Every structure is written in structure tokens, then in C-alpha cells.
Amino acid sequence: MKTQVLGLDGSVLREIELSDSVFSVDISEGSIYHAVRNELANLRQGTASTKTRSEVRGSGAKPWRQKGTGRARSGSRKSPVWVGGGTVFGPKPRDYSYKLPRKIKRLAVRSVLSLKLKDKVLKIIEDFTVESGKTKDLLKIVSGFVPDERTILVLKDNDKMVKRSGGNVPWLRFLSFDRLRVHDLFYCRHLLLMESAAKSLNDFYASN
């Protein structure tokens, strides 16, 4: 399929050929779900921790004798039923990350790109950089294409000056064409692709 490449002034410069196997596939909701779930799980720190009755600080002596007090029998102040006692089946530090099959990841990316193009929130713009590294210079360019809403800009390479200029813009994030995150792509309101990045995506995700 062909789509327009927009200049920095918003005018149509030319048309670019997009691979149907990347930007026009049957949308797989299942692969998107599993990819988003996998990315969120891999981000979890897994540092939550509670103490069991063997780890709680306190005396191990029996609070009172077994019989004759009129109170319920008790063997330890560290019992889970006591205030300040241990926790039963509480969380312990663990690793939540897991691997997702490569084909599912790539299918999820192709599905999201196809979805964004279908919803007409994907735009391809000519390559640019921000030599000054200033936020105002980047916003002059980006604001001409999208409002101040959650936006993803896919770069042609690891352009440090562009990333530097947009590092303090809360609604703008940057991704490289070979390190896309399905979660960010799926939940963004607008998706901007640099022309070189779009061409690279054609080759990078065209095959399984």
C-alpha cells in the first residue's frame, strides 16, 4: 500500500510504499494482549516482602500456661493471629519476568501498526533532527502534526539530540524502529514515524 509522507510544514512531499505484511495484517488481539502482559510483567520489580512467624522479632516463650486461665490457649506471641505477629502466605521477593515467543511479539507489533494505520492516527513525516537540543524547537515540529496528547515518535536511529530535546515533554515518548514496545504503541493517541523508520520497519518486520 502507499501512504503520504508529510513535510515539517505539513505539506505532502511524496508517497511511500508500506509493506502489507507489516501495516495491513489481520489484527491479532490475542498477540497484543500477551505482548502487553509480558512487557508489564518484565517491568515489575518483585521486591514486595513480608515476614513469616519465624522471621518476626519477639519472644518465643509461651504467653501463659496452657490451662486454668480461662483464656484461649496460645503458644507464641509471633502467631499470625496476634497483632505484630507473622504473615501467612504473604509476598516474597520474586522474578515476574518470562519469555514470550518471538513470533508472537512480532505479530503483536504488526497488529498494532496495522490498527493505528486503520484508525488513521499513524502519520509518516520526513526525517529531521534537532541540532539545538532545545524543547521549543522540537515542539514547533511535533505540534504541527499532533495535539498535546500521548504521542509516540519512532526514530530512524538513536538520535540523542531529539531525545534530549523531548525528554521533559510528558506526553511524548521516543522509540527506535528495532526496539518497539507494544504497550506504548497500543495506548498512544498518535503515532509518528520518520520516513527512514517506516522504510526500516518494512524490512525488519516483513518476515517472521
pLDDT tens column, 107-165: 999 999 999 999 999 999 999 989 888 999 999 999 889 988 999 999 988 888 999 99
For residue 4, give every residue at least 6 positions away whose Cβ sits within 8 Å of its Cβ, in sequence order, or none: 12, 13, 14, 15, 16, 124
Residue 208 pLDDT > 60: no
Query: Would you state the cell numbers that stand for residue 183, as one nine-digit string?
Result: 504497550
Return d(Cα 197, Cα 124) in angstroms, integer. Answer: 9
Look at the domain 2-45+98-204 and name its fold.
Ribosomal Protein L4; Chain: A; (3.40.1370)
Averaged pLDDT score across all residues of the chain: 92
Per-position DSSP letters for the chain, written without gaps between them: -EEEEE-TTS-EEEEEE--HHHHSSPP-HHHHHHHHHHHHHHH---------TTTS-S--S-SS-SSSSSSPP---TTSTTSTT---SS------------HHHHHHHHHHHHHHHHHTT-EEEE-----TT--HHHHHHHHTTTS-SS-EEEEESS--HHHHHHTTT-TTEEEEETTS--HHHHHH-SEEEEEHHHHHHHHHHSS--
Name the strands in the sheet holding 190-194, side by side, starting at the edge strand that comes first in the sequence. Answer: 12-17, 2-6, 122-125, 190-194, 151-155, 172-176
Query: Would you state the cell numbers that stand for residue 81, as one nine-digit string?
Result: 493471629
Residue 11 pLDDT > 60: yes
| pLDDT for the residue numbered 139 | 92
| pLDDT for the residue numbered 207 | 62
pLDDT band at 48 (very low <50, low <70, confident <90, very high): very high
Looking at the chain, which residues constitute the CATH 3.40.1370.10 domain(s)? 2-45+98-204
Question: pLDDT tens digit string along 56-74?
Answer: 998 889 999 999 999 999 9
